[in-house]
Structure 1
Amino acid sequence: MDVISRTFLPAVIDAGAVIPSRHLPIVERCVDADDDAVLVTRCQRPEAPLAGDYLLLLTRRRLVVIRETPVLHRLRLHLNVNLRHLSNVTWRPDLTRPALEMAATAVDGVRERFRMRFSDTESVWRFESVLREVFLGERATLA
């Protein structure tokens, strides 16, 4: 079973995101067959809200971000990095909207920021728990 059907599609369903199938070839090129997708969501860049939508894919070893241009809906690989090459990874839940903002510095020194919006605060805490598990190695349980 390939990485798409084994982990990516279940993560998409878990997130409640609608991901067109044209994203799949980029995902297949970026993610190893034995690397599990743990988080898939649409997001935006707070410093460039009109730059288009982004698809954020987090696996146990990689962060992959695919940009979709606003007018022509072309797909471009924005970021494909091993998690070991990220530094100063931070995230901040915003329960008033509900949203979660994540930031990380890539190996080239560029600070990347992504804002994920959710339908409810429960989703914010679920995604925050996944980020904590992947980046801090903590297993968090929601009470």
Structure 2
Amino acid sequence: MIEIIKDKKILRITPFQRENTPDIPESDWIQVYVEYMLPEIKIQYQASFTAGELNLLKNNITGLYMNLVKGKIANEIVFDSMENQLNLIFSPSLRKGVLLTLTLRPENSAESIIVSDCLGMDESYFPALLSGLNEIINWPS
């Protein structure tokens, strides 16, 4: 599970099911609950990701985290999920941190509401974020 808490904002991504693809684990679909809570609103919906797209995100975030720790310039990471229900942009900031811009689309239709917001994160968030991604990627069948 991934849980990012910043002030009164909470982003939580919890796995609940995995659909195996025989002989191609990177193509397994992992179903999750996405929750985003603000003081004014609470959004909850189901989304799906492939293990491969989550592995790529984990590798990119690992590189970003290492650059932050070493004080090097980090590259922006853009994650657009295959089903376009969750989009994340990790933009390095000048203060040894990252601005996480998220876009949530509970439904895949054109009439779905779209929620966009930003969270500031420093390097202390990354170990738990990477651990949570690893847990989701390795979620059992």
Identify, as 1 or 2, the structure richer in strand: 2
TM-score when normalising by structure 1: 0.42
Which structure has the larger Rg? Answer: 2
TM-score when normalising by structure 2: 0.43
RCO greater where, 1 or 2, for CA within 8 Å and sep 6 or more?
2
